[in-house]
Amino acid sequence: MAKPGTDGARKGALRLLQGVRDGLSLADQAGALAALPSADQARAGRLAAEVLRHRDRADAVLALHVTRKPAPPVADVLRLATVEMLELGGAAHGVVDAAVSLSRGLGQRGQAASGMVNAVLRKVSRHQGWGDLPPQRLPGWLRDPVVAAWGEDAARTIEAAHQTGAPLDLTLKPGTTFEGGLALPTGSVRLHVPAQVSALPGFAEGDWWVQDAAAALPVRLLDPQPGERIADLCAAPGGKTLQLAAAGAQVTAIDISAARLKRLAQNLARCGLAADLVRADALDWRPETAPDAILLDAPCSATGTIRRHPDLPFRRDGSSIADLLGLQAHLIDHALSLLQAGGRLVYAVCSLLPDEGEAQIAAALSRHPGLTVETSALTGTDPGWVTTGGGLRLRPDYWPERGGMDGFFMARLRLS
């Protein structure tokens, strides 16, 4: 028999997978799970994410036993059960029985397929060699430029990192500590055991906030000083605003979303930090006094975050890249127009695509005579991560022994 409560979580996971097939992200579907207890909501999210991380592998196993392509909802039931048994170690009897019940709950087509679901999954439960199957491949629109930039071996190690998923990283306020985590060389703290964030020590006291170790580096590259006027363009979700404020800077955080700014205000209050929050399109915003420095974490493809957002390859096809490239260039030009001579700008994107990173900086240098890239050594980073143009390129397959990092590109520019 299935464990008590797990059927609700499985049903929730199937709803999330349906949403992804409809073009929604996992993060956008909290309402789909609202009726479930919090524990089932969390388990549903984890199950859906694992299915998406291992969908190619599950389909490869299922193809050995399925003679005709099942309807998408039935295929999701089969994938969910396959991943539960072969990846998560679920007991075959309970998982198969639950999958049959889930199939019967899908209406007439699911009821008709329930016998097939039972027979196929009993064979799948005896499958050998799951661990030998290759990780989920990047979609072609992303894999091709990754291979072109760093080679086939790098693409495979990035895919392996995506399959592993992401641990929980924390950025600590200066002067605070966190016991029980792994101290990373760059200053972040990493937790490898799943945890409820709000129940962790120091949360209520505002001692830290959740932020991937790679995402914490653009502010460290900017090197904010106490009292400096710093603009954080496109500020949400706000981790970098918190870093800037914790360094003692006078921060103005600009974002177009009122909802995201509200969450940022709540995190500032929890952490006892202050910043001026402005709801505006970053391209339209212009301060009365030129800032000393600007952080531009530009809108991008977010392809560097697949290890924590495994739904992304199933929702995007690369068609928006051209528009993003144009927007990023406009934002760089606008940010530079806000700076006075001697001011500095850190440009960052959580992208694996060189067109959004290295190429953007090369193009900006050609458009702006007197603009230079300042190569800075950051504590805990590898010199090999510095690009020939002076930027910092991070990839998910870096730090494999520590659990990897998000893919990022960042560069510090100085306007003379």
Which residues does the annotation mark as catalytic?
350
Angle (CA) 270-276-279 rounded to 5° is 105
| Closest C-alpha among 159, 166, 152 to residue 134 | 159
252 three-class SS: strand
Contact between 390 and 376 (Cβ < 8 Å): no
Q: Residue 234's CB: how many other CB atoms inside 10 A? A: 24
| Closest C-alpha among 342, 216, 240 to residue 291 | 342
Rounded Cα distance between 203 and 179, Å, is 13
Rounded Cα distance between 155 and 146, Å, is 6
Torsion sign over Cα 382, 383, 386, 392:
positive
H or E element at residue 340: none
Convert 98-134 into a string of H (helix), E (strand) and C (coil).
Answer: HHHHHHHCCCHHHHHHHHHHHHHHHHHCCCCCHHHCC
DSSP secondary-structure letter at 6?
Answer: H
Pairing state between β 408-415 and 371-374? antiparallel
Sheet strands (E) in 151-259: 168-172, 182-183, 189-191, 208-210, 229-233, 250-255
Rounded Cα distance between 380 and 118, Å, is 51
H or E element at residue 307: none
Contact between 106 and 36 (Cβ < 8 Å): no
